[in-house]
Amino acid sequence: MKLYSYFRSSAGWRVRIALALKGLDFDLVPVHLLRDGGEHLKPDYAKTNPQGLVPALEVDDKVFTQSLAIMEYLEETYPEPSLLPGDAARRAEIRAFCQAIACEIHPLNNLRILKYLVRDLGHDEETKLAWYAHWIREGFGPVERLLEREEGPYCFGAQPTLADACLVPQVFNAERFNVDLSDFPKVRAVNAACLDLEAIAATVPSLQPDAE
């Protein structure tokens, strides 16, 4: 398996966590999102992912894109340990949690959105950071409420699931942009529990081969 990713990509990190929890090896193909205008925007990479985004996962002669779809593919292909456990209702809750992060928070704070705010719309750095913090806080509010219903220590109980794979990178990202997360104690506690796991600790951006 080949994972096209960038060490700081949140979506790529989700997939790294799923691979690590399932004990699956992969070869990294680094795609630098900043160098030379962004390697993900080059015609060569468009052959791998026409959307020009990371991650992409190449398995034999197929390439899968979109982190949630990739993680579901891994779950179906390598069912143990399950990252989407429980009955249909429980699995719907886990998927909804994943989407609360991957579809509601992350798209508003992605590199190309932040670049557009500054480069095309002429906003300054301070406005960009205010935008970033606003959407993190708007998004983490409901996420915190969802976690309050659960026992922990992970998002949905005693074992990490796809929900945790989505949460950890988003928290890292928020901290990187100095967003105050003190209103979200559950989010922080679950993140800490995840990072205590050896498998997840090994997936942090600074430990990746392409880290800078």
Ligand X SMILES: N[C@@H](CCC(=O)N[C@@H](CS)C(=O)NCC(=O)O)C(=O)O
Q: Could you tell me the smallest distance in angstroms from the CB atom of residue 11 to ligand X?
A: 4
Rounded CA separation 178/7 (Å): 19
12 in Cβ contact with 55 (< 8 Å):
yes
Q: Which is nearer to ligand X, 105 or 147 (CB)?
A: 105
User: Which letter, b or e, does each residue of 127-166 get, where b requires 16 or more Cβ atoms within 10 Å of its Cβ?
Assistant: ebeebbbebbbebbeebbebbeebeebbbbbeebbbbbbb
What is the smallest separation between the CB atom of 193 and ligand X, expressed in angstroms? 23
| Nearest residue to 5 via CA among 63, 60, 61 | 63
Which of these ranges, 66-74, 81-89, 120-128, 192-200, lies near ligand X under the rule CB under 6 A? 66-74
Part of the chain binding ligand X (CB under 6 A), chosen from 51-59, 83-91, 119-127, 190-198? 51-59
| Residue ranges in 73-112 that form contacts with ligand X under rule CB under 6 A | 102, 110-112
Instruction: Summarize as ranges the residues that interact with ligand X (CB under 6 A).
Output: 9-11, 33, 38, 40, 53-55, 66-68, 102, 110-112
